[in-house]
Amino acid sequence: CTSGGGSASTSSASAGAVKAGTGTATMAIFGSIGPCLMPNLTNNGNARAVTQCFGSSLLAYDEKMDFIPSLASKYTVSSDGTQYTFDLRKGVKWSDGTPFTADDIEAAITAMTDPQTTTNWITYVSPIAGTSDRKAGKSATIGYKKVDDTTFTVTLSAPNASFLDLFGTQFQPLPAHIVSKIAPTDLNTGTFAQAPNVTIGPFYMTSRSGDDDMEMARNPHFWGGTVGLAKLVVKSMTETNGVTAILAGEVDVIPAESVAEIAPSDVETLSSNSAIKVVKYQNSTCQTLYMNEHTLFSDKRVRQAVIYALDRKGMIKTVLDGDGIVADSVYPPFSKYYDAKVITKYTQNVKKAKQLLSDAGWDASKTVNFIVPTGDTTVTQASVIIQQQLKTIGMNVQIQQVDNNTAISRANQQHNFDLTILANVGVNNLDVSRRFSTAAWKTGVNSGGYSNPQLDQLMAQAVTKSAFSDQKPLTDQIQQLISQEVPTVMLWYRDSIAAVDTAKVTNVVPQRGGAWLQAAKWGSA
Amino acid sequence: MLLRRILRRLAIGVPVVIGATVLNFILVNAAPGSPLNSLVDPEAGPAVRKQMAARLGLDRPLPLQYLTWLWNAVHGNLGFSYENDRPVVQDILERLPATLLLAGTALVLAYVVGIAIGVIAALRPYGRIDAASSVVGVLGISIPSFVLGLLLIYVFALKLHWLPASGMTTLGTTGSGGLLQHLVLPVVSLAIFDLAIVTRYTRASMLEVLTEDFIRTANGKGLSATRVVVRHALRNALTPLVTLAGLSLPSLFGGAVVVEVVFQWPGMGQLAVNSVLARDYPTLLGLSLVFSILVVIGNLIADICYTLLNPKVRDD
Amino acid sequence: MTSNTIEAVTAVPATTRSRRSGSAVLRSLLRNPTAVFGAVVVIIIVLATLFAGVIAPFNPDAINLNLAHAAPGHGHLLGTDLQGRDVLSRLLYAGRASLLIGVGAVVVSLVIGVPLGALAGFFGGWLDAIISRVTDVVLSFPVIVLAVVAGAVLGSGIWSLIVLLGCILWTTICRLVRSIAIAQRDADYVVAARSLGASDLRIIVKHILPSTVGVIVVNAVFGVANVILIEASLSFLGLGVRPPTPSWGNMLSDAQSLGVLAGQPWMWVPPAATILLTIVSINFLGDGMQKALDPRLRNR
Amino acid sequence: MPVLEVEHLSVTFGSGPDAVKAVEDVSFELAPGQTLALVGESGSGKSVTALAIMRLLPQHNSTVTGSIVFDGKDVLKLRRGELQKVRGNRIAMIYQDPMTALNPSMTVGAQIIETMRSHGIGTRADRRERAAELLAQVGLPDARARVDAYPHQLSGGMRQRVMIAMALACEPDIILADEITTALDVTVQAQILELLAHLSKERGVAVIFITHNLAVVARIGDVVQVMYAGQVVERASTSELLNHPMVPYTVGLLGSTPRLDEDRSDRLSTIPGEPPNPRRRPPGCRFATRCRFHRELCDAELPPLVQAAEADVPHEVRCWGLVPGDGTGWLIEEKAGELA
Amino acid sequence: MSDGLLMDVRHLHVSYRARRGQRLLAVDGVDLAVGEGDVLCIVGESGSGKSTVGKAMLGLIPASGGEIGFDGMDLTTMGSRALRKLRSRMQMIFQDPYASLDPRMTIGEIIAEPLTIHHGGSLRRHRERVLGAMRDVGLVPTLIDSYAHELSGGQRQRVGIARALILEPALIIADEPVAALDVSIQAQVVNLLQDLQRTRRLTMIVISHDLAVVRHLADRVAVMYSGRIVEYGDRVSIYEHPSHPYTQALLSAAPIPVPEIERSRERIVLEGEPPSPFSRPEGCRFSSRCPLRAALGNPEICATDDPMLLDVGDSADHTAACHFTRFAPTEVDGDIASLRLHPHDKGEKEL
Ligand SMILES: Nc1ncnc2c1ncn2[C@@H]1O[C@H](COP(=O)(O)OP(=O)(O)OP(=O)(O)O)[C@@H](O)[C@H]1O
Ligand SMILES: Nc1ncnc2c1ncn2[C@@H]1O[C@H](COP(=O)(O)OP(=O)(O)OP(=O)(O)O)[C@@H](O)[C@H]1O
Ligand SMILES: [Mg+2]
Ligand SMILES: [Mg+2]
């Protein structure tokens, strides 16, 4: 019985220093939040910042991206890597005072795997045996077993290296005593889903009208210690408005948790205001330039020419105002899998790029159709730079701006593009097969259709290893191979930028990895 | 008589509304992209996608999808928004008042102020007020509303702190807290273009009417100057403006899209942008239904005003 | 009614000078100072954009990541934009796209709107009913929907914008032409033409359409201005001219970030000022044209 | 005692080289109950004279000089408030074109009542009653119902009668009637002339009757004043003028009028040419270029308006050919033979 | 006078679509025959349908009943293409010369338009003919490049005439050709029309309400009242012996520029308005206003029977639509008979 996990004493989330104040803070989310605020069930990326305030996960990461206890005080993994047993923290209560038990875990799994609900995060639980069948509408027993009120076991259909990253740190329980009374069809959209008023996180929702004026109140029973703010208001707005609003004193916190972020050109404006603190932290979202293997980029030399042509550092400097790092590896530098020694680092080298192109016999008369989604100005700005830099090596790139939705269709369904930029929202996880496996051309986000049996095999192997020491040799090979083959040009990992009006709110310290707002610690000034 | 006219107008509106929604439906479906793209994470895999498509009824043939929508719409059910998963009616009803308030206030502002300036300018053509108004007029039609909006925010919200920068009500307040202050900047940004146009038209129309013989008749009767201007000149000068106003309504709703985005105004403009970008068909169709009904109503109101102002038409 | 005032007694000038309308229009324009101003500025702008290749100090698309968003100076008269491109050069080239879209979209809208309006107004009846309803449908269409769809289907190129905006803007011109056609179809001189044996087509082409020219010119002028603004708004929503092609609109839309608006005015003031100047001049020119095109107003 | 004395009235439109002298040095007086007919062709300044009396000329581009004395005061010097009391109340004008002179968006009743109200006549109910009476008085059929009609619901003749009723509303001392019968049928025309004659006879209303139809003048005028190119060229009592026209223009005018009471002669006599461009009128006699009898003097100098030498009743003429003196008066001899 | 009939209108009915779906019967059964080279004048009350008859004869508005024979062809059954062809043989001169000229065309283009319509080509090709036509109507050639607003009223009407003449039509219909003109110009145009008619043996139909002009121009006169012809005859009969009470009233009301005659003339003043074209009375249209009927003690027949055009009897084809007119000279009360217009007698008596 191999075991991982930490002791219950190193609780990371609790902070004794926080006093229960009467303060209110207003938080701006960029973009629409969508109706569903049920953890695990919302399909909206922008909603994450809100659901984080409502929920807690079983485990969390520390600074080194190692697991630390959260709702679970301890976990054990069977030697074959298929059975995980979690011990739940004792004395935890939902915001209405109902005790938190293993039933609440089951309730959440059941809800996510109900054929009548939809969720983008099915991967959190899909390694568990029987879940896929249940979701597909076949009768199936799920590999979940309640041992007692504070202990449960899940059985996986196969060993899975990223199970803890997903089920452990992303999955959140749902209140069984509430959810069991809700019809499955209402789980995504019912009243409770839209305004969860029984939560396990630092806040619960008190009122909501549409996308605006969501109001949350402090959870008196929060397990992680006293919540600093009495009230938290959430408002969805556009980037410019958010920046304006915080400058005008109408908003107190912009938590870099939405899909759109504070524009680099606004950082200076914000910083120039003495009350506003700009907080930057590294993020695992990778901006990626996809090259279509099925049209013009089947030749590795051409792909390498592209990466040599680009000045990614320069781009980060101008487009992101320096707030980001060049993406050298599929694993972000703060990931435990990242290893600078095994990867090839590319810097701009126009001569070499030209050489590679001519070696590959590139036909300069061809136009390269570059699909650029609108919405994120850093992307549209970068696309122009990319176009110009590729022009210098003799690639005739034509930009076609389309809305994001169209871009996704053209990239993932129709594969009708030569170049395109899309973001890969990263989760700390060794499994990158959705981005690079042959199968993922049809089913994942391997939009360019890169195919390499060796890589396929490495990725498949790595997933089955649950010990870091077993994983490391494989992930090293994976990142090395990917950096050599250049299936995509990974442009950068952009820093998340949060802004806080320190005159109103204190102690906003987001954690690296972009995972946790730690809103429980916020206090009012 | 008037009632029959109204009813006829409304009957004529039915094909317009249906036409607008059909066209809308065809166009959004002609565009690449799918509602699934924003509902299903690309990394979630095709199974989830398929499940979602079935759930939304997107796997059925297009004409059937539209007809189902129409059938339900006729019965008062505009369906559920894909994005917000709420009844579209609810979404629209929540936002319609905001847009109506914004566009309506802008319309009133543009017409009341525009007519007033136009009349003053016409009474003293080539005078100082006339010159000033034409300068403002030129500025009004040459500055994009988003630039004006941002400038206004910069000056009045950030520098002078006189007015709030965005939103419709002050956060945390309930009801209509600070609504008036919030209304000022967006309304000004939205109204300025129409205001310029209205001023120009009023001036031209007034100048023309003031040369009419019946104005001379009125003066010759010994009426006061005010009465001549208001009762005789203005009333007749308004007729062409009514037609203009009928055309203004749709264009104001169009303009509101940008202004709503700039000022974070919780109206239908933003909803429209979002629903197009997300291919939220039910919301889109609902909106196009509402827009076309508004156009029909706008036409109708213009028509009625026209009839009331113009006794000649009233008889036909 | 009968205007037996000035014209009736004005003795006929024994005209020997050339009366060909082309030169008469030109002469009338030249006599109008604001029109001359407008024309001169428009010509300067058009020439500047046409010869942008010669005048522009830099390649408008050339990025310089080391000199991004630099204030005027450093050899860049108007500074550089976010990607380090020369603002002045872009401004010059941007005129091409903006003016082309402005003029192109207006031409498209005229090509659609004028004949439809003339037919609807002249013939009335069911034809009028159908055309009017179609106009309503198009009017009740949020531009944004079309912009997204067109951008996705046709690509957000200049040509697709021209087609798109033309397909939206024809409604106004159609309505205007229609109302004039209704007013003119029973005019004495139209009845006269009919009594001479003129066919409907000839009456429309020779008599109705010329009488709409004044309105069309004014509307077209407004239209060009309007299209430039719409393109700017579409750029603001990310749906304008495709980069890296500069347009005044997409240059201006850089100002959508507050940082640029307040801190880097050189990026947006030049295009804004150019749009203003262009629209003002086009307006002046349009007013002059309207006068010049109508023989009755020409010599006033 | 005349009710109205017009002296040296001149009206200029615009300024500079394009200025139009629409009326030049016109003087006349008008006694109560008298009807002065102003004739002359289009553009000769008839309407402008009347509008100047009402002070209704556009202020921005017209200059009026001379004096118009009414009720002991110069109308041209009245302040706006005083002017308002005179207009419509003491002096009323009936305009040339009934189609456009009525406000299309007000009922005719309202337009009549408005006049009375602004001059404080009667109570609300009275005024309505009186409006109906006035309409009946001018011979509008079904007058009571027509009070609420809009102008477009009435025929041209009816509208003209409404205009007249409006002018009569405040029982003015002077009525200025500007070509009020041009648009009318002869039968309606007859009715209206009858009405005006009645008013001047019974109530002593002075009328300035503007027309270019000499036949109508024969019916209504006491005194006829012929205008040509802004000037008075001939003035006499109606029968004197129509029976013994002297100035070549008047003679030509009469000669070119086809007559109902004569079967057709072979051709109508005509006045060749057209009136001079008002912007570039010749320095001499305005009619010189069209005049069969013109001599050098006519081109050089403007003839004065003087009493005709050979007439024994008041008869003023403006023609060198009729002024006795050195080198002038050549028409006096010819007249007997040529013109009679 | 006439060699044969050029225009032969029978039972012409014309109605306009009026508001609320009603039909306005503007012309209600008109028969007219115009011989070649003849001048027919139509006079009558305003709104009686004169212009409508004129336009219908040219096929400019569709007839709702009856036949319009032109040179042996029936215009009412003709296709629009054939009708357009035929237009070259019949032309119109309009009342308001200014309104009938396209303000955006030069005089040359306007006069050349019939040629370009029927023979193609542009002004350049037809320049000589245009100049010829201008000469014929007394327009100086320099005006060819002017616009209508630069011309005087008389010149404008001459342009209209030149345009009508350039195709050398057989028939000209002139609708109030001089009504909008100045007194001194009116005579010039009347003379011109008369000269042209004589030199070219034109057939002319002139619509006018100026009875003096008509007396000067006409060979024959038709008097219209309320959509009908109420009296028809040669000029002399109509002016010397008007039979229909309406014609009599009309002639008595027309002024004469001799004060002595005017002041003493007695006029027949017509009370009331003509009947509405929507609902005309059963019997005679004029009966409600008819002084003759009043004088006869309101005979029943006037209110019940619609009178037909019948020979008056004093000359060939002088007809009138009145139940009593034939008896008028003998049976009518002396008062009314004396109202007959014999201006010369009367004027001389007064003088
Ligand atoms: N508002 C004005 N501005 C400039 N010129 C004017 C104006 N009103 C009249 N005129 C000019 O004054 C002159 C006299 O015009 P007026 O109207 O008095 O003529 P009229 O004798 O009444 O002619 P008609 O018989 O056509 O009514 C004309 O040359 C006319 O062009
Ligand atoms: N286009 C039309 N639509 C409807 N009714 C019309 C139209 N034109 C004329 N009418 C009506 O038809 C009748 C006869 O009109 P028409 O113009 O023929 O009269 P007219 O004898 O020429 O009168 P006038 O002497 O005033 O010119 C009138 O009642 C008139 O109102
Ligand atoms: Mg006049
Ligand atoms: Mg007529």
DSSP string, chain C: ---TTHHHHPPPP---S---HHHHHHHHHHT-HHHHHHHHHHHHHHHHHHTHHHH-SS-TT---GGGTTPPSBTTBTT-B-TTS-BHHHHHHHHHHHHHHHHHHHHHHHHHHHHHHHHHHHHH-HHHHHHHHHHHHHHHTS-HHHHHHHHHHHH-S-HHHHHHHHHHHHHHHHHHHHHHHHHHHHTSHHHHHHHHTT--HHHIIIIIIHHHHHHHHHHHHHHHHHHHHHHHHHHHHTT-SSPTTS--HHHHHGGGGSHHHHHH-GGGTHHHHHHHHHHHHHHHHHHHHHHHHHSHHHHT-
E351 burial type by CB count under 10 A (0-12 exposed, 13-18 middle, 19+ buried)? exposed
| Residue owning the nearest CA to atom 22 of ligand 1 | D47
Rounded to the nearest whole angstrom, what is the distance from the C-alpha of residue D62 to the centroid of ligand 1? 12
Residue with structure tokens 């350049």?
E124
Q: List the single range of B42-56, C79-93, C160-174, E113-127 with lowest mean pLDDT.
A: B42-56
D217 touching chain E per CB within 8 A: yes
Rounded to the nearest whole angstrom, what is the distance from the C-alpha of residue D42 to the centroid of ligand 3? 7
| Residue owning the nearest CA to atom 26 of ligand 2 | E46
How confident is the model at residue E308, as a pLDDT?
Answer: 86
How confident is the model at residue D232, as a pLDDT?
Answer: 94
Closest ligand to residue D44's CA: 1
Q: What is the pLDDT of residues E163-174, one digit of tens each?
A: 998 988 999 999
Q: How many CA atoms lie within 13 A of A20 on its CB side?
A: 11
Closest-approach residue (CA) in chain C for E169 = C196
Which two structure tokens, joined as six digits, stand for C176?
A: 């205007």
Residue A307: strand, helix, or coil:
helix
Q: What is the pLDDT of residues E29-62, one digit of tens each?
A: 899 999 988 999 999 888 888 989 998 988 888 8
Q: Which residues of D touch B224 (CB under 8 A)?
A: 84, 118
- Optimal mutation site among D90, D93, D97, D105, interface B, most CBs of chain B within 10 A: D105
Residue A521: strand, helix, or coil:
helix
**B128-142 and C209-236 helices, crossing angle to 10°:** 60
Count of residues for chain C? 300
Residue with structure tokens 């940082």?
C259
Q: What is the pLDDT of residues B148-203, one digit of tens each?
A: 888 888 888 878 888 777 677 655 455 555 777 788 888 998 888 888 888 888 88
CB–CB of B117/B153 below 8 Å? no
Looking at the complex, report in whole angstroms how far the Cα of residue C209 sits from the nearest Cα belonging to chain A: 40
How confident is the model at residue A15, as a pLDDT?
Answer: 41
In this structure, which amino acid lies at residue B134?
S
**B179-210 and B235-263 helices, crossing angle to 10°:** 150
How confident is the model at residue B177, as a pLDDT?
Answer: 57
> For the residues E211-218, what does the mean pLDDT come to?
89
Closest-approach residue (CA) in chain C for D48 = C5
C9·D42 Cβ contact <8 A: yes
Query: DSSP string covering B187-253, please?
Result: HHHHHHHHHHHHHHHHHHHHHHHHTSHHHHHHHHTT--HHHIIIIIIIHHHHHHHHHHHHHHHHHHH
How confident is the model at residue E342, as a pLDDT?
Answer: 36
A101 burial type by CB count under 10 A (0-12 exposed, 13-18 middle, 19+ buried)? buried
Residue with structure tokens 């949060």?
A498
B221·D166 Cβ contact <8 A: yes
Which element (helix H / strand E) includes D145? helix D143-146
Residues of E numbered 177-196 whose beta carbons fall under 8 angstroms of chain D's beta carbons: which are they? Answer: 182-188, 190-191, 194
How confident is the model at residue D209, as a pLDDT?
Answer: 94
Q: Which residues of B touch C142 (CB under 8 A)?
A: 253-254, 257, 272, 287-288, 291
Return the ligand 1 atom nearest residue D230 CA: 14
Task: Quickly state the pLDDT bin for C13 (edges 50, 70, 90).
Answer: very low
Torsion sign over Cα C233, C238, C239, C244: positive
Rounded to the nearest whole angstrom, what is the distance from the C-alpha of residue E181 to the centroid of ligand 2? 21
Touch between E and A (at least 3 CB pairs under 8 Å)? no
| Residue owning the nearest CA to atom 24 of ligand 1 | D42
pLDDT at residue C10 above 60?
A: no
pLDDT at residue C24 above 80?
A: no
Looking at the complex, report in whole angstroms how far the Cα of residue C11 sits from the nearest Cα belonging to chain D: 5
Residue E245's contacts (CB-CB under 8 Å, 6 or more residues apart) are E268, E286, E290, E291, E292, E293, E322, E325, E336
Task: Quickly state the pLDDT bin for C5 (edges 50, 70, 90).
Answer: very low
pLDDT at residue E93 above 70?
A: yes
- Optimal mutation site among C145, C168, C174, interface B, most CBs of chain B within 10 A: C145
Q: Which residues of B touch A410 (CB under 8 A)?
A: 32
Distance CA A501, CA A179 (A): 37
CA B158 → CA A245, B151, C52, E265, distances in Å? 9, 10, 38, 89
Distance CA D187, CA E271 (A): 10
- Residue A322 C-alpha from the chain's centroid: 22
Q: What is the pLDDT of residues A269-298, one digit of tens each?
A: 888 888 888 888 777 788 899 999 988 888
C1 touching chain D per CB within 8 A: yes
Looking at the complex, report in whole angstroms how far the Cα of residue B268 sits from the nearest Cα belonging to chain A: 13
D41·E183 Cβ contact <8 A: yes
Distance CA D23, CA D13 (A): 10
How confident is the model at residue A259, as a pLDDT?
Answer: 66
Q: Which residues of E touch C295 (CB under 8 A)?
A: 103-104, 147, 149
Residues of chain D with pLDDT under 70: 264-265, 333-340
CB–CB of B56/B35 below 8 Å? yes
Distance CA D145, CA A370 (A): 77
B166·A123 Cβ contact <8 A: no
How confident is the model at residue A14, as a pLDDT?
Answer: 40
Which two structure tokens, joined as six digits, stand for D52?
A: 């100047």
C8·D277 Cβ contact <8 A: no
Q: Which residues of C touch E96 (CB under 8 A)?
A: 2, 188
How confident is the model at residue D30, as a pLDDT?
Answer: 93
pTM over 0.95: no
Neighbouring chains of E at 3+ CB pairs under 8 Å are B, C, D
Q: What is the pLDDT of residues A441-491, one digit of tens each?
A: 887 788 888 999 999 999 888 888 877 888 889 989 999 999 998 999 999
Instruction: Report how far apart the first and last C-alpha atoms of chain B are (Å, whole number).
Output: 9
In this structure, which amino acid lies at residue B61?
P
- Optimal mutation site among B207, B210, B215, B221, interface D, most CBs of chain D within 10 A: B221
CB–CB of A235/A27 below 8 Å? yes
CB–CB of C296/C25 below 8 Å? no
How confident is the model at residue E329, as a pLDDT?
Answer: 44
**How many Cβ atoms sit within 10 Å of the Cβ of residue A139?**
7
Residues with CB under 6 A from ligand 1: C 4-6, 9; D 13, 20, 22, 40, 42-48, 58, 61, 96, 212, 278
How confident is the model at residue A16, as a pLDDT?
Answer: 44
Looking at the complex, report in whole angstroms how far the Cα of residue B214 sits from the nearest Cα belonging to chain A: 54
Share of chain A above pLDDT 90, in %: 15
D101 touching chain E per CB within 8 A: no
C210·E104 Cβ contact <8 A: yes
Looking at the complex, report in whole angstroms how far the Cα of residue D332 sits from the nearest Cα belonging to chain E: 23
| Residue owning the nearest CA to atom 13 of ligand 2 | E26
Beta bridge partner(s), residue A235: A28
Q: Which residues of D touch C5 (CB under 8 A)?
A: 43
Distance CA B283, CA A58 (A): 38
pLDDT at residue E348 above 50?
A: no
pLDDT at residue A418 above 60?
A: yes
Cis check: omega of the bond before A202, within 30 degrees of 0 = no
Q: With b meaning 16 or more CB within 10 Å and e meaning fewer, what string describes B32-44?
A: bbbbbbbbbbbbb
Q: E275 CB under 6 A from ligand 2?
A: no
pLDDT at residue E204 above 90?
A: yes
How confident is the model at residue E24, as a pLDDT?
Answer: 84
Return the ligand 2 atom nearest residue E54 CA: 18
Which two structure tokens, joined as six digits, stand for A1?
A: 């019985």
Query: DSSP string covering B47-99, please?
Result: HHHHHHHHHHTTTS-HHHHHHHHHHHHHTT---B-TTT-SBHHHHHHHHHHHH
Distance CA C64, CA C100 (A): 28
- Comparing D327 with B66, the larger pLDDT belongs to B66
B247 touching chain C per CB within 8 A: yes
D23 touching chain E per CB within 8 A: no
Task: Quickly state the pLDDT bin for E159 (edges 50, 70, 90).
Answer: very high
C201 touching chain D per CB within 8 A: no
Return the ligand 2 atom nearest residue E207 CA: 22
Closest-approach residue (CA) in chain A for B37 = A405
**How many Cβ atoms sit within 10 Å of the Cβ of residue E258?**
22
**How many Cβ atoms sit within 10 Å of the Cβ of residue D111?**
23
> For the residues C127-139, what does the mean pLDDT come to?
87
How confident is the model at residue A331, as a pLDDT?
Answer: 87
Distance CA B307, CA B139 (A): 34
Q: Which of A404, A398, A408 has its CA nearest to residue A365?
A: A398
Residue B251's contacts (CB-CB under 8 Å, 6 or more residues apart) are B194
D97·B213 Cβ contact <8 A: yes
CA E234 → CA E217, E218, E230, E319, distances in Å? 12, 8, 14, 10
Q: What is the pLDDT of residues A154-183, one digit of tens each?
A: 999 888 888 888 888 888 899 999 988 988
Q: Find the Cα–Cα–Cα–Cα dihedral D254, D257, D262, D265, rounded to 10°.
A: 100
B144·C283 Cβ contact <8 A: no
Q: List the single range of A137-141, A169-173, A357-361, D129-133 with lowest mean pLDDT.
A: A137-141
Q: What is the pLDDT of residues B98-148, one digit of tens each?
A: 888 888 899 899 999 999 998 988 888 777 888 888 887 878 877 888 888
Strands of the sheet containing E73-74, edge to edge, are E23-35, E5-17, E65-70, E73-74
Which residues of D lie closer than 8 Å to C, measured between beta carbons? 20, 42-43, 97, 99-100, 274-280
Residue E61: strand, helix, or coil:
coil
E strands along A122-225, which residues? Answer: 144-148, 151-155, 203-209, 212-218
Of C68, C157, C260, the CB nearest to A318: C68
Closest ligand to residue E26's CA: 2
> Tell me, what DSSP letter sits at residue B155?
I
How confident is the model at residue A13, as a pLDDT?
Answer: 41
Distance CA C164, CA C146 (A): 7
Q: Which of E106, D189, E178, D97 has its CA nearest to residue C2?
A: D97
> For the residues B13-42, what does the mean pLDDT come to?
82
B222·D102 Cβ contact <8 A: no
CA E329 → CA A334, D11, D188, distances in Å? 126, 56, 27
C197·E84 Cβ contact <8 A: yes
How confident is the model at residue A211, as a pLDDT?
Answer: 55
Closest-approach residue (CA) in chain B for D116 = B221
| Residue owning the nearest CA to atom 25 of ligand 1 | D42
